[in-house]
Amino acid sequence: MRSPVGLDVGVAEERMAMRNPADDARRTPPGRAVGPESMPFVVFALDADGVFTASDGEGLSALGLEPGEVVGRSAFEMYRGEPGVLENLDRALLGESFSSVVEVGGKAFRCRYDPLRDAAGGVVGAVGLAAEAEEISRSASDVRLKERAMAASSDGIVITDPNRPDDPIVYVNPAFEKMTGYSEAEVLGRNCRFLQGEDRVQPALDELRAALRDGRECSVVLKNYRKDGTPFFNELSVSPVFDGEGHLFNYIGVQKDVTERVRHEEELKESEERFRMTFEAAGVGMAHVAPDGRWLRINGKLAEIVGYPREELLSLTFQDITHPEDLEKDLEHVNRMLLGEIDGYSMEKRYVRKDGLRVWVELTVSALRSGSGGLACFVSVVEDITGRKLAELVSDPLTGRELEVLELVAGRRTNGEIAETLNYSVATVKLHVGRLISKLGVENRARAAGRAVEIGLIPPPPQ
C-alpha cells in the first residue's frame, strides 16, 4: 500500500535499504521520477563491464553531475580512488543484491545495488539507487510528519493513482473511513465513483471530470453515499501532484462532510421561496426600501396601487412619489428610525400615482436590521385606503354625473361648455355644480376642483 506522500508504507530508511532498484527501473516509465521530487535520489545502471548506461535523479547535484552526464563512462575509472564504491560494484556485477553506505567525495551515501539478469539468469549489468544519508534522514522525517498529519486530519483524505487503470484509490486516512463507513481495505484499488451510488447525474461531476482530464485543481460538492446507504454531501477539493519532471504523479482529494451546511442552505432557499410567494400574493403593497429611500424590492400590488411599472418604480425613491404635503412628516419618522429612536411607525399619507391621481394609503414601516444591529432596510406595508378616506372627507358620495361635471369644472370649462359637452341643460349643470360645492364643503366651484384634486377624486388638470 502507498503512503499519503507517495512512498511505500514504512520508514524511509527501510525502503532505501530494502527496495529493489531493478523493480523500480522496470516499473518506472522513461522520464518518470522514482520518488517524490522532495527526495534527491540517484538512479543508475551499469552494463556487465561497469559502463554507465543510465544516470538520473536530483541527487546527482550533490556529486556535481548532470543527469546522463556519465552515460558511456566506466564506473571503475571514475571511482578508482573510492575503494568502497569499487567493492560494491564488483559485488553487484557478480550477482549480489545488498545495501550499504559508501563515501564519495567526502559525502556519505546510502545505496542499494541489484544485478540485472537476462532470461537465462546470467548477470548482464546492475542497477542502483542512492541518496545522501543526511537527505534520507531528513526526507524520512518529513515523510513521517506528513503521514501523521494526514492520518490525524479531521478531513477525509484520499489519494489516487492516475497512472494505473481507472485511477484507483491508493490511500485513505481514518477520517475518510469514519465519514464513509468503508474500511481502507474495502476501498483500495477502487475508483472513487462508487461513493456516488446510482446518483451519477450530478452537474458537479462534469466539472470534476473535466478537471481530472486536464490535470488541474477543482472544488465541488457531490452527493455521496455511506456504506450503509445514507446520503451525505461531500465538499471535495482535488489537487494534482506532479513529480520533478512535471509528470502527473497522484491526485489528492480532501473531503469535508457539508451535509448540515447544504441542508441549511436548502432550508434557507425554501424559506426565501415561501417568503417570495407570500410577498407576491399579499393583498397589500409590500416593499423593501433602502435607508436613502430607494425601492429595493416591491410586489405587484404596490405597483398597482401607485400605478407605476415595476422597473420604473425601482428606479425611483419613495420621496419621488410621496405627496409634498405628506413628505416632511414621513421623513421625520424615517430620521427617527435611522437614529434608533423608534423601531417603526404607521401613518396615513398620499402617493402621487404615475397618472397624477392621489392615492391614500395606510403605511406601516418596520426596520430590518443586519447581524451587527445596523439598519439593512425598511420593510413597508402599504394598504390602499382611498375609498375609506374619501368617505371620511366627502359628506355625501358623488354620483357618476357629478364626477363628470367635476372633471370638466377642474378643466376650467364654463357651465355652457359643460352643458354642451354632456348634452345637459345649463340649469342641470348649475344644479350639479351646487351639489359638488356642498358635498366637498367649499365656497365656490374653483375651490371644489382644487379640493377634488387634493383628496384624489380626480387627477390634476394638464398644465
Q: Which domains does the chain have, with CATH numbers?
A: 12-139 (3.30.450.20), 153-262 (3.30.450.20), 282-389 (3.30.450.20), 395-454 (1.10.10.10)
Give the pLDDT score at 15: 36
What average pLDDT does this structure show over 334-362? 91
Give the pLDDT score at 88: 92
Give the pLDDT score at 412: 86
Res 136 pLDDT > 50:
no
Give the pLDDT score at 145: 53
Res 33 pLDDT > 80:
no
Give the pLDDT score at 30: 34
Give the pLDDT score at 147: 59
Give the pLDDT score at 194: 95
Give the pLDDT score at 272: 84
Query: Kind of pairing, strands 375-384 and 358-369?
Result: antiparallel
- Closest to 313 in 3D by CA, of 372, 267, 254, 380: 380
Give the pLDDT score at 283: 87
* Higher per-residue confidence, 11 vs 151: 151
CA dihedral 6, 10, 12, 14 (to 10 degrees): -140
What average pLDDT does this structure show over 424-439? 88
Res 22 pLDDT > 60:
no
Identify the band that residue 40 occupies on the pLDDT scale cut at 50, 70 and 90: low
| d(C-alpha 130, C-alpha 416), whole Å | 119
Identify the band that residue 20 occupies on the pLDDT scale cut at 50, 70 and 90: very low
Give the pLDDT score at 148: 61
* Higher per-residue confidence, 245 vs 44: 44
212-to-161, 206, 244, 412 alpha-carbon distances in Å: 12, 10, 20, 80
What average pLDDT does this structure show over 164-172? 91
- Closest to 231 in 3D by CA, of 261, 190, 259: 259
Identify the band that residue 38 occupies on the pLDDT scale cut at 50, 70 and 90: very low
| d(C-alpha 349, C-alpha 305), whole Å | 13
Give the pLDDT score at 276: 82
Query: 433: buried, middle or exposed (CB in 10 Å: 19+, 13-18, 0-12)?
Result: buried
Other beta carbons within 10 Å of 439: 20
Buried (b) or exposed (e) across 355-392, using 16+ Cβ within 10 A?
A: eebbbbbbbebebeeeeeeeebbbbbbbbbbbeebbee
Res 68 pLDDT > 50:
yes
Residues 20/114, Cβ–Cβ less than 8 Å: yes
Give the pLDDT score at 7: 35
Res 245 pLDDT > 90:
no
Res 4 pLDDT > 70:
no
| d(C-alpha 314, C-alpha 336), whole Å | 24
| d(C-alpha 119, C-alpha 344), whole Å | 94
Res 250 pLDDT > 50:
yes
What average pLDDT does this structure show over 119-132? 86
Residues 46/54, Cβ–Cβ less than 8 Å: no
Res 2 pLDDT > 90:
no
Q: Which residues have CB under 8 Å from 89's CB, separation 6+? A: 46, 50, 75, 76, 79, 113, 126
Residues 258/266, Cβ–Cβ less than 8 Å: no
| d(C-alpha 91, C-alpha 81), whole Å | 17
Q: How far is CA 126 from the centre of its chain?
A: 54
* Model pLDDT for residues 189-201, shown as the tens digit of each residue: 999 999 999 888 8
* β partners of residue 222: 234
Which of 5-19, 82-96, 443-457 has the least mean pLDDT? 5-19
Which of 30-39, 91-100, 143-152 has the least mean pLDDT? 30-39
Res 139 pLDDT > 60:
no
